[in-house]
DNA sequence: TGGCATACTTCGGTGATCGATATATAGTTC
DNA sequence: GAACTATATATCGATCACCGAAGTATGCCA
């Protein structure tokens, strides 16, 4: 376990890129849509995380394009990023399942 | 979204207490067992988190006992903590499921 | 006697995220 | 045409959860 765990924001960014390459603002919108508006990814978090994730090789620069005179910089998930995301998602799912089963096992804590 | 999200360590602590009241060292052991040894909760993280979670009303002091001349301070999950854990676990499970389904939708990223 | 497991305390460091500010274009509403 | 919202990226100081390490102490086992 020297491996550093993914924070939630990083997880959501990788998840956003798992469906298709997206640009920064598109990632923010996807994360918001993904969670029914519950999770708002801050720009300060996003652009910092994008640099870091690219540095770790989990995402890659895809291409740039200009739409309505505005630059869009697209990123895609790398193979390493996909593997990492899959691993984290499985771990996360196991933890969630365990927590829910423990809560359900009549300890009277849940109404 | 003013609500602060649970970090992984805090989630695992609440999950450990979801089955029964435990003392600090017992929580560390449970988290380790929960994850087949993959997640090691550090003592510095634990005792800090315990104070914080108690301050937020998510866990409560249960009782103290002395076993083999060593003090054990037990904590239990509060009703608020159980609700919060359930909510976080459901959100986490949804996110994990979505990420996995996106990865599986033939983007060629996963071998 | 030395080592390992148990058990809690404290505290400095780090880094991911927050929150705010900045710049710029396009479209909408009054 | 002024004001506002949405789109789009950049930057930077502050915060705080978590890490990592060291300390104190007891009991058990070889």
In tens, the pLDDT along B33-67 reads 988 888 899 999 999 999 999 999 999 999 999 99
Give the burial class of A4: count Cβ atoms within 10 A of its Cβ; 0-12 exposed, 13-18 middle, 19 or more buried. Answer: exposed
Residue B1 has pLDDT above 60, yes or no: no
Euclidean distance between CA atoms B102 and B99, whole angstroms: 5
Q: What are the residue boundaries of the structural domains of chain A, listed by start?
A: 8-106
Mean pLDDT of B22-39: 93
- Measured in residues, chain A has a length of 111
- What are the pLDDT digits (tens) for A9-22? 999 999 999 999 99
> CB of residue A29 closer than 7 A to nucleic acid strand D?
yes
Which residues, in sequence order, are CB contacts of A12 under 8 Å at separation 6+? A31, A34, A35, A39, A41, B95
Residue A48 has pLDDT above 50, yes or no: yes
Residues with CB under 7 A from strand C: A 4, 6-10, 41-45, 48-49, 52, 68-70; B 5, 23-26, 29, 43-44, 46-48, 67-68, 70-73
pLDDT band at A108 (very low <50, low <70, confident <90, very high): low
CATH number of B8-106: 1.10.10.10
């Amino acid at each position: 376990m020297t491996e550093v765990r993914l924070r939630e924001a990083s997880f959501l960014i990788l998840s956003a890129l798992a469906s298709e390459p997206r640009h920064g603002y598109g990632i923010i919108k996807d994360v918001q849509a993904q969670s029914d508006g519950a999770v708002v990814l801050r720009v300060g978090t996003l652009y910092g995380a994008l640099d870091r994730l690219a540095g770790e090789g989990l995402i890659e620069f895809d291409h740039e394009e200009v739409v309505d005179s505005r630059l869009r910089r697209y990123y895609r998930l790398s193979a390493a990023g996909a593997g990492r995301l899959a691993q984290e998602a499985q771990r996360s799912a196991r933890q969630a399942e365990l927590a829910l089963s423990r809560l359900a096992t009549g300890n009277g804590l849940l109404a």
